[in-house]
Copies of this chain bind each other. A is one copy, B any other.
Amino acid sequence: MNVDGGAFVAKQATTDKRQRRERGSINPDDIIKGAFELAEEVGIDNLSMPLLGRHLGVGVTSIYWYFRKKDDLLSAMTDQALRTYVFATPYVAADDWRETLHNHAWTMRKTFMGNPILCDLILIRSALSPKAAQLGVLEVEKSIASLVEAGLSAEDAFETYSAVSVHVRGSVVLQRLYEKNLASADGTGAQLDDRMAIDPESTPLLAKATADGLHRIATTDDANFEYALNCILDHAERLIATGPKSKGSGKTTKSSVRQRNRAAATN
């Protein structure tokens, strides 16, 4: 963190002011690489152009020659992040469709959970280039194809995969946002009152359920993730069992109508 470089040296001919770099000495790839290095240290949220200039040993404004706005740089980083993500979550066929999709969901989760920067760029900031998005689409197709092969209709396969995808991304994002808040809270020395107080008088059931000290309320931990994931997979399994003749599960028909009414009432 040598931030104060040359601040008190004045503009004498001391020559340690940092040489002017030659023409081809930086390129977009170097900048992106340096940006990831810096993000690893300070986090995406604290990644700034002046900081990046310092990290690269480059005048801040030089970066603007290659990326006209910080947003453009972040987009380029997001595209690369997606390539990393797709590489880390290949489609791997297991014994059956259910295990395959189950594993895939967990691989996606683990990849994001183990790499906050991926999470911040791909899930929270989004904004993929169409070209990069195409990459992700290819992956999705393979997963859906395996569901169709297992006996789901194309539409059911699409819905099932979408549900799993939203579940993975949603729970990861909630967890990530929670982490961020914790970080900024204890950074400022605020309340370390992580586990919120459950009063057994007013909320006996919650007190009982959280008594083990393990469970937290409506948390996004692995067990919770697995639970809802299996709900979705169970549903798909029943769709396959009943065969392609009946559309929908039958069970959900009544509530689908209910939902439609509700949506109509709101619009």
Contact = CB atoms under 8 A, between A and B. Distances in A.
Given A226-B256, A251-B230, A258-B99, A220 B144 contact: no
Chain A facing B: main interface SS: helix
A226 B230 CA distance: 16
Contacts of A252: 230, 234
A91 to B, nearest CB: 13
B231 A127 contact: no
Contact of A166 (B127, B193, B220, B237): B220
A255 B233 contact: yes
Interface string A155-199: 101110111011101110110011001001100100101001111
A220 to B, nearest CB: 6
A126 interface: yes
A124 B189 CA distance: 21
B262 A203 contact: no
A179 to B, nearest CB: 10
Given A126-B181, A217-B137, A234-B231, A174 B163 contact: no
Given A133-B196, A206-B141, A163 B71 contact: no
